[in-house]
Amino acid sequence: MATQEIIKDSSYWYNKFITSPSDVRFRIHGKHYQLDRKLLIEKSRKFAMLLKDHKNEELAVPFKNIPGDSTAFELAMKFCQGYEPNLTAINIVPVICLAFYLEMTEEHCQGNLLDKAFNFFHLKILPHWNESVKAFQTMEHHFDFAIHLGLVDSCLESLLSKARDNPRLLGEPFKKPTLSDTGADYRPIVRKKLFTSNQQASEALTLLSLRLYELIISSIIQNGVQPEYVAASLFRYAEAWATVNITGEAVVDSKDVIETVEKLLPDDKIVLPCKLLFEMLRTAIFFHASPSCRYGFEMRIGKQLNEALVEDLSTPSQGYAAEVQFDIDCVKRILQNFYANYTSSESSGLIKVAELIEDYLAKLADDENLTKDSFISLCAISVATTIETKRYSDGVYRAIDIYLDRHNYLTESEKEEVCQGLDCSRMSEEARIHASQNSRLPLRVVVQALFVGQLHLRDVITTRVDNSDNGSRKEVMVIGSEESDEARIEMDNGVIELENECDRMKRQIEEGVVKEKKNSRWKALKRKFGCMNGSHACTNCQVKKKSFSRNGA
């Protein structure tokens, strides 16, 4: 047989038979090949049919839709020359597809490449999780061939069987958070290693394309694998792919990723901590996912809102402008879902959510960019949750006080708008006392706090006196005793004094408003005559108050 020389570089790969005139040359995958005609015909029925009609040494027929890549084709050509193929999980799928395309079957030649590759796939790949995932990953580029040859179904069945037996292959579930948890504590300890020391078994599926990942997860869900493991895998996939690169551009179509993840995410309660659900909601908002996708996350959050933290609830809206905006409607929808799905007979969950909203309102109140209208809307939400639990509205008052302190430029009328949701009759005595002495509050609210305190005191006095008359509080009052009459008189005097104080404050407020209006008219008159400075500095001004004229005389 003639001497054989193998030549290979970046653009040219061929077997050069120095003395053989029977070589055939062709170009595939951008590379040139020169191979023995007889060897090609012996192994490939496809080449046999092509070369039958092309007697010259240059095969000009283009290979359209040929599967595989240059690596797989070179492996097939070496097999034609008698070399044993070096099959791996990475190249097995393209080799099988190429061997099928070239018709390298047992019918054409015993011990051919297609049969060898299929045997390797079933014996060396499918029994192992890691190898199956690697092979499954390569099917994205040969999907139609892989479907036709049954490779996709075989891989799905293999992976599904292993996931049913050991769901931890999908990843450890995220534990339920406790008060001492930090963000990192939500992450489970990963145990099984894959590929390299930096890649974990639980991350294997995150390497798949979205189409392949959706196939395997849908199959796993349909076969009843525990939802907490499915949810853990879905979160990691979203974390890996729904992201942006250093330039701020999406690595893949992140909108499709987050929408698919939401569609596959189990509806079961507590499959993911609230913190992670909020992360996914923020991702959906950032990539402008569909309203149904965002609502899906809001619904799941609502089911377990009583386990959320204030930091979780701080979800900005879509507009990432310089002024921070808060998606109030989003918070409302989450609350609606919470109340719609709350079935416990215990009120502890309701109280936790009411406290959460109060703390959330107080946190936002300290943000100088929070507009008055946004705060009022959020305040209304907090008031509603407080009324639902029949609690004091001290938390609402605290948030209003913080907002007024942070936004001290507000006018009196604007302050009254901010305080419109505050009901002093639902405040504790301590909070009312604080409000009655709070200079940041509008005077109307201060008077209201004093008046409510007065009514409360009157009710207490009346109740105690009535009980004393009925003999139910003998330790305080004694029927017919002089001490009882004196106490009654003293309390009545206290109430009258408080009423007089309230009336005095009301008159001061009214007089202050009138005085302010008079001063404003006087300033306007001076301005009209060109006298803008004080009365002592204005030597040419003929318009002076009568008191000043009399003093001058």
Q: Set out the domains of the chain in order of their start, with CATH numbers.
A: 4-160 (3.30.710.10)
Q: Supply the Cα-derived Rg of the chain in whole angstroms.
A: 41
State the chain's mean pLDDT as an integer.
78
Is the predicted pLDDT of residue 194 greater than 90, yes or no? Answer: no
Measured at the alpha carbon of residue 435, what is the angle toward residues 432 and 441, in degrees to the nearest 5? 150
CA dist., res. 477 & res. 348, Å (int): 39
Mean pLDDT value across residues 319-338: 73
Residue 137, Cβ density class (10 Å: 0-12 exposed, 13-18 middle, ≥19 buried): buried
pLDDT of residue 454: 83
Is the predicted pLDDT of residue 471 greater than 70, yes or no? Answer: no
Q: Determine how β-strand 4-8 pairs with β-strand 13-17.
A: antiparallel
Helix axes 113-120, 92-101, angle to 10 degrees: 150
Chain CA centroid to CA 272, Å: 12
Which residues are bridge partners to 7 per DSSP? 14
| Phi, psi at 33, each rounded to 5° | -130, 145
CA dist., res. 363 & res. 395, Å (int): 11
Whole-number percent of the chain with pLDDT over 70 = 68
Burial 498-508 (b: 16+ CB within 10 A, else e): beeebeebeee
Is the predicted pLDDT of residue 477 greater than 70, yes or no? Answer: no
Q: Are 159 and 126 contacting, i.e. CB atoms less than 8 angstroms apart?
A: no
Q: Are 174 and 272 contacting, i.e. CB atoms less than 8 angstroms apart?
A: yes
pLDDT of residue 345: 83
pLDDT (tens digit per residue) in 271-306: 899 999 999 999 999 899 999 999 999 999 999 999
pLDDT (tens digit per residue) in 330-384: 888 999 999 998 888 888 899 999 999 999 999 999 988 888 998 999 899 899 8
Chain CA centroid to CA 290, Å: 14
- Which DSSP helix (H) or strand (E) runs through 202? none
State the pLDDT confidence band at 510, using cuts at 50, 70 and 90: low
Is the predicted pLDDT of residue 103 greater than 50, yes or no? Answer: yes
Chain CA centroid to CA 505, Å: 51
Report residue 387 as tokens: 């009324």
CA dist., res. 209 & res. 141, Å (int): 10
Least confident of 6-20, 92-106, 166-180, 362-376: 6-20
pLDDT of residue 485: 57
Whole-number percent of the chain with pLDDT over 90 = 46
pLDDT of residue 320: 45
Least Cα distance to 267 among 238, 243, 231 occurs for: 231
Mean pLDDT value across residues 391-410: 94
DSSP designation for 277:
H
Is the predicted pLDDT of residue 87 greater than 60, yes or no? Answer: yes
State the pLDDT confidence band at 253, using cuts at 50, 70 and 90: confident
Max Cα distance, the chain (Å): 139
The residue type of 532 is M
Total residues belonging to the chain: 553
Is the predicted pLDDT of residue 224 greater than 50, yes or no? Answer: yes
Q: Determine how β-strand 199-200 pairs with β-strand 193-194.
A: antiparallel
pLDDT (tens digit per residue) in 419-450: 998 989 899 999 999 999 999 999 889 988 88
State the pLDDT confidence band at 28, using cuts at 50, 70 and 90: confident
Is the predicted pLDDT of residue 230 greater than 90, yes or no? Answer: yes
pLDDT of residue 58: 60
SS3 content of the chain, % helix, strand, coil (to 5): 60, 5, 35
Q: Are 294 and 333 contacting, i.e. CB atoms less than 8 angstroms apart?
A: no
Mention every residue, 6+ apart, whose C-beta is less than 8 A from residue 414: 372
CA dist., res. 305 & res. 322, Å (int): 29
pLDDT of residue 54: 66
Least confident of 68-77, 115-124, 413-422, 475-484: 475-484
Measured at the alpha carbon of residue 462, what is the angle toward residues 461 and 465, in degrees to the nearest 5? 85
Q: Are 259 and 291 contacting, i.e. CB atoms less than 8 angstroms apart?
A: no
Is the predicted pLDDT of residue 239 greater than 50, yes or no? Answer: yes
Most confident of 117-131, 232-246, 273-287, 442-456: 117-131
Q: SS3 for 286-307, per residue?
A: HCCCCHHHHHHHHHHHHHCHHH
Report residue 317 as tokens: 């809206």
Least Cα distance to 365 among 405, 324, 393 occurs for: 405
Q: Are 235 and 254 contacting, i.e. CB atoms less than 8 angstroms apart?
A: no
CA dist., res. 215 & res. 151, Å (int): 13
Least confident of 139-143, 468-472, 536-540: 536-540
CA dist., res. 142 & res. 90, Å (int): 13
Most confident of 323-332, 369-378, 530-539: 369-378
Chain CA centroid to CA 42, Å: 59
pLDDT (tens digit per residue) in 153-190: 999 999 999 999 999 999 889 876 554 454 444 444 33
Is the predicted pLDDT of residue 138 greater than 90, yes or no? Answer: yes
Least Cα distance to 162 among 204, 103, 120, 108 occurs for: 204
State the pLDDT confidence band at 408, using cuts at 50, 70 and 90: very high
State the pLDDT confidence band at 327, using cuts at 50, 70 and 90: confident
Q: Are 138 and 93 contacting, i.e. CB atoms less than 8 angstroms apart?
A: yes
